[in-house]
Structure 1
Amino acid sequence: MKRYFITGIVVLIPVVITLWVLRVIVTTLDQTLFLLPPNLRPETLFGMNVPGLGVLLTLCIVLLTGVVAANFLGQRLLTLVERLLDKIPVVNSIYSSVKQVSDTLFSSSGQAFRQVLLIRYPHADCWTLAFQTGIPQGLVATHLGEPHLNVYVPTTPNPTSGFFLMVPCREVIELDISVDDALKHIISMGVVEPRQKHPPKKI
């Protein structure tokens, strides 16, 4: 009886958590429906709320924004908006900081979260997984005295919180595993083993 109960828990927990996360995402994205005029909302058109329409609307907004921003006129408009935001106190600092982070994370030429690392943390006798986010620049780099890497050390089981560290390159081991597998390893508290991205060739 105890074995069946534990087996049921093991099976249901991932399913329940997955459904809960999806529900939170869908519910959050459905809030974009409030951007529509009341007469165009699902409860008016269909007489009831239709879960998931907000997700489609969000995807359409993101796609349309990308299309507009990719052409010449869109880039000019974006430049004007950025200049306007740059003149507003407080807003300019928030926007510029968020833009720098997003450009770094999502740029195809950037190195943020492209490489999984093994570093010593929180002390010399312990190791943990980390993600490279960049290389120290400017005044910070001049005070370090040797090459360092900017790394993000996620916490378990919630990898969205963590610590930012600057670690000497000589103390870093690059791992041949994907970021997705590393995140699964962290979230599972080491239960799910990461796979090697490029398995050794058989001789």
Structure 2
Amino acid sequence: MTSSPFEPEPKRPGLFSSLRASFLTGLVVILPVGLTIWLIWKVFGWIDGFVLPLVPANLNPEEYIGINLRGVGVIFLFLFTIIVGWIAKGLIGRSLIRFAESLVERTPVVRSIYSGIKQIAETVFAQSERSFEKACLIEYPRKGIWAVAFISTETKGEVAEKAHAMGRLVSVFVPTTPNPTSGFLLFFPEEDVIELDMTIEDAAKLVISAGLVYPNGEKAKIAVEEQLRKAS
């Protein structure tokens, strides 16, 4: 189908519109990279300022080079953490940790702070086989409204025994947007939980972005562009 010679040609974007579009595209590319580098640089500087004053002068390479090396404190902290972990895994280290924790448990205020920080550290850093199994869909907070959740485990213990359900219960975690580390622990009948093919990482991106980033979004975009190219 050919266009009529009397139809007006589509208006081309002006110079200002092109510059504005290029500027916004540049921001999308530069901001994530720049903010990531800036944040890492600031964190390294904060660690250096805290760790380096504790390092003996004869072990600090800055004393010999005469240049402020950003990240040296991170290396010292990394090596120190490895040594502490290696000692803690031994018999003597475990005995010392149990003794220190028994002292902390007798201190009212310190006990609460220590237990909270320890739980967070074990959840985030501890090497464990326990993790979310799959992403899923559930009807929450009512029928007809769907939410992305993560399957944790099969519900066991007193909760499974006292809950009135026909079959098995599944423990699911419903994250909040844009912070997926907070959310709700819910117990759903197994038949009401719909497993998704997307990975845990893709589901987390979907939650964090408030629905703006879908799995395989780039692949879908390329497929649409290919179809439009063939149609033209």
Higher radius of gyration, 1 or 2: 2
Matched, 1:13 2:35: no
What residue number does 1:68 align with? 87
What residue number does 2:138 align with? 119
- Give the drift of 1:12: 1.7
- Give the drift of 1:52: 1.4
- Give the drift of 1:183: 2.5
Q: Secondary structure at the match of 2:108?
A: coil
What residue number does 2:195 align with? 174
Aligned partner (choices 171, 194, 198) of residue 215 of structure 2: 194
Matched, 1:53 2:72: yes
1:19-58 equivalence runs, <5 A: 19-34=37-52, 36-37=54-55, 39=57, 44=63, 46-58=65-77
In 1, the alpha carbon distance for the partners of 2:212 and 2:37 equals 21
- Give the drift of 1:184: 2.6
Unaligned runs of 5+ in 1: 196-203
TM-score, L = length of structure 1: 0.72
Larger CA deviation: 19-28 vs 6-15: 19-28
Q: Secondary structure at the match of 2:149?
A: strand
In 1, the alpha carbon distance for the partners of 2:174 and 2:109 equals 26
Matched, 1:164 2:175: no
Matched, 1:80 2:102: no
Larger CA deviation: 51-60 vs 26-35: 26-35
RMSD: 3.2
What residue number does 1:198 align with? none
Q: Is the 8 A contact 1:32 1:58 kept in 2?
A: no
1:95-110 equivalence runs, <5 A: 95-103=114-122, 106-110=126-130
In 1, the alpha carbon distance for the partners of 2:93 and 2:214 equals 45
Q: Is the 8 A contact 2:147 2:174 kept in 1?
A: no
Q: Secondary structure at the match of 1:117?
A: strand
Larger CA deviation: 86-95 vs 180-189: 180-189
The 1:142/1:48 distance shift into structure 2, 3 A limit, reads: farther
Q: Is the 8 A contact 2:155 2:187 kept in 1?
A: no
In 2, the alpha carbon distance for the partners of 1:102 and 1:136 equals 24
* Structure 1 letter corresponding to 2:186: M
In 1, the alpha carbon distance for the partners of 2:212 and 2:187 equals 27
- Give the drift of 1:102: 4.2
Identical columns (%): 35
Matched, 1:151 2:173: yes
* Structure 2 letter corresponding to 1:165: L
Q: Deviations over 1:22-64 (max 9, x none)?
A: 2343234334415614736566554443221222122222211
Unaligned runs of 5+ in 2: 1-17, 217-232
* Structure 2 letter corresponding to 1:173: I
* Structure 1 letter corresponding to 2:177: T
